[in-house]
Structures are given as C-alpha cells and as structure tokens.
Amino acid sequence: MDGGDARSAVHMGGFLSRRRYDPPSWASHLRPLPSHTFSLGHLPTPIHRWNLPHLSDGVEVWIKRDDLSGMQLGGNKVRTLEFLMADAIENGADCVITAGGIQSNHCRATAVAARYLNLGCYLILRTSKALVEKDLGLVGNLLVERLVGAHIDLVSKEEYAKIGSVVSSLLHAILPIREKFARASSQWIVNDHG
C-alpha cells in the first residue's frame, strides 16, 4: 500500500507504537501468547460514576469509558485490534480482510486501524438484496471507511447467511470478491468482531 509500511507510521505520544506484550498473571498460561501489540488507542480509559436518580441506597453504577479510546476507532474494538493488527504485521500481511454489516463498527475500526498502520483493507459488507448493486453513498461508517481508502464489496444478507459469516468462507464462495482479493499480495483475515 502506498505510504510505506507499518514501521513508518507516525508515532504520537506512544500512539501507533509497537509494544511488547506482557500478559496479566491470569492469562500467562494461555498459548499461543502474542509477543507484541500496536498501540491504537488512548488507554487506559477512565471509569466514571454514573449518578442516576432513584437508585436504592448503597447502589452505585460505574461506566468504563471505552468511547474515549479514540474517536475513529472508539469503543472496545480498539483493544482487540491492537492484537490482531500486530499479528497481521508480524505475519507479513500488507492488507487485512474482514466482514460485517453495512454500518459495522468492527469494519470501520478495522479500516481505520489498517490505514494508521499503512495496511490495505478489504471489507465485505452485508446489506439487503435490493441495495447490493447500488451506490450507498457517504453516510455513517461507510463515509469513514471510504475516507480511509478501504475497498468495499457488498453482499446480500441472504448470501451472507447461506455461506456463513466466516470471512474465509465468503472469499472462497463469491467469485468476484475472491478475484479482487487475490490481487493483494499478502492478506490477513480478521473474522467478524475480531
């Protein structure tokens, strides 16, 4: 992809930096353990007390503010993508492929993370049969995905359900998509929702 590789990405205060991964003690027995992650969010995010009216005495509600992890990636998606993108780069990928709904936050976050790390991104998005052949314009997550240069292919919900949501199944079953992705020199599949 133009712009170099992930190692040439701009680092801002640790953002986009490659970090060694030291698992917490409760996860140290898991195998395989990732060796590194890429810092894709502004973490840790704060925990705020939510002052709700009419709570019983002694009841408190606290909210983990993962929406503050970064505007483009937002939410909990960034935590998973830090591992998945590091794995893709470590395995020599120059693009990532994933699938989801037409306004999938997972797909948007994957496309933005790929752009940050100078990887290509291919998205297989499901929508209604009537909309598969139409230009859906620049709305919501589609706008962001197009702005960051993601390659987008639409499939009907029926076709998606028939094949299954596993990206590799979609690639093998849908000829035009398979031919397009075959042109990418080194692909890495990120299954739905990481």
Return the pLDDT at 183: 58
pLDDT in tens, the chain (194 residues): 444 454 444 445 577 888 888 888 998 888 888 888 888 888 888 999 998 999 999 999 999 988 888 756 667 788 889 999 999 999 888 888 888 888 899 999 999 999 999 999 989 888 887 777 777 777 889 999 999 999 998 888 887 777 665 555 555 555 455 555 555 556 556 665 54
Strands (E), the chain: 18-20, 36-38, 47-50, 61-64, 95-101, 120-127, 151-156, 187-189
Q: Of 104, 128, 156, 186, which one is the catalytic site residue? A: 104
Task: Provide φ and ψ at 74, rounded to 5°.
Answer: 50, 150
Number of domains in the chain: 1
Return the pLDDT at 149: 94
8-state DSSP, 175: H
Residue 49 falls inside a structural domain = no
Return the pLDDT at 160: 76
Return the pLDDT at 181: 56
Return the pLDDT at 140: 86
Residue 33 falls inside a structural domain = yes
Residue 45 falls inside a structural domain = no
Return the pLDDT at 168: 56
CATH number of the domain at 138, please.
3.40.50.1100
Pairing of strands 36-38, 47-50: unpaired
Residue 21 falls inside a structural domain = yes
Q: How many CB atoms within 10 Å of residue 83?
A: 16
Quote the domain boundaries for residue 146.
6-40+73-189
Return the pLDDT at 136: 78
8-state DSSP, 45: P
d(CA 145, CA 139) in angstroms, rounded, equals: 10
How many residues in the chain? 194
Residue 83 falls inside a structural domain = yes
Active site residue 8: no
Name the one residue in this structure whose structure tokens are 């993508």.
81
Q: According to DSSP H, which parts of 91-128 are helical?
A: 105-116
Token pair in block for residue 141? 């997550």
Residue 60 falls inside a structural domain = no
Name the one residue in this structure whose structure tokens are 């993108």.
85
d(CA 5, CA 88) in angstroms, rounded, equals: 12
